[in-house]
Amino acid sequence: MNCSPHPNALQPGTLYLVATPIGNLEDISLRALRVLRECDVIAAEDTRRTGQLLKHFGISKPLLSCFKFNEARRGQEIVERLRRGETVALVTDAGSPGISDPGQRIVRAVIAAGHRVEPVPGPCALVAALTASGLPTDEFHFVGFLPHKSGQRRARLESLSRLPGTLVLYESPYRLERLLAELSEIVPDRETVVARELTKKFEEFLRGSPAELLQLARQRRLKGECVVLVGPRRAPIAREA
């Protein structure tokens, strides 16, 4: 009788970083589903949201809450589980763990403790927005969320405006108008794209100058988390037909 392990079996003592859908549940990968089914425990940013995802795919696993304010403490617990030979899957509410979401501190703790970290790649708003934006992709700078304080935001944007390549930022719909107003002052002539509701029913890419997009945002409320992309200096403004 051949008792050799399955070639794709999870390795004991490994932390798996599992990317989950950012909207469309069909974007989950077969590998992600297998890891979630076979791991010992799932560390989740929001156990309720992850519980809904697991229920949709008929998966039942123990859940461990792991969010921004308990990440350091959970990191030590995860390291201890890995030391005992368990397999842990880390997920966030949507997208890839560690990209403007909890995960980075846990990854560093696990590596420092000498354990293995394995990515299970998949949906990521950054990549989805950049590739469909029409802006240059050969060089880009991902910023994530800007500081909330006005002075810090402006200083950050002015510094970023001097970088070559495309800038990629995440922004809340509640602060989108504020960001577009700031961009219209700092980089008024640079092609800008707002990508919203990515992979969902009302997915939309809005293109133009910061001032044009600001006017549009004031005319109708743009809902959903947004990815804002700013083209390189001297890039011509693209107009939609």
**For residue 180, pLDDT beyond 70:** yes
Last residue of a domain, one of 94, 120, 146: 120
The residue out of 120, 138, 166 marking a domain boundary is 120
Domain residues for the domain of 57 are 14-120
Burial of residue 213 (number of CB atoms within 10 Å: 0-12, 13-18, 19+)? buried
Asked if the structure places residue 239 within a domain, the reply is: no
79: nearest Cα among 110, 104, 107:
110
Burial class (CB in 10 A: 0-12, 13-18, 19+), 189: middle
Q: Are 18 and 87 members of one domain?
A: yes
Asked if residue 90 belongs to a domain, the reply is yes
Q: Same domain for 36 and 87? A: yes
Token duo for residue 102: 């909890």
pLDDT tens digits along 49-97: 999 999 999 999 999 999 888 888 889 999 999 999 999 999 999 999 9
Domain count, the chain: 2
Residues 63 and 133 in one domain: no
| Of residues 146, 98, 138, 148, the one with CA closest to residue 122 | 98
Which of 120, 139, 168 is at the close of a domain? 120
Question: Is 1 a member of any domain?
Answer: no
Whether residue 81 sits in one domain with residue 129: no
Residue 223 forms part of a structural domain: yes
Asked if the structure places residue 240 within a domain, the reply is no
End-to-end C-alpha distance for the chain, whole angstroms: 67
pLDDT confidence band for 240 (50 / 70 / 90): low
The answer as to whether 4 is a domain residue is no
Between CA 139 and CA 82 the distance in angstroms is: 37
Predicted TM-score of the model (pTM)? 0.89
CA angle (116 as vertex; 5, 104 as ends), nearest 5: 140
Q: Is 240 exposed, middle or buried (0-12, 13-18, 19+ CB in 10 A)?
A: exposed
Per-residue pLDDT at 3 exceeds 70? no
Can you give the CATH number for the domain in which 92 is found?
A: 3.40.1010.10
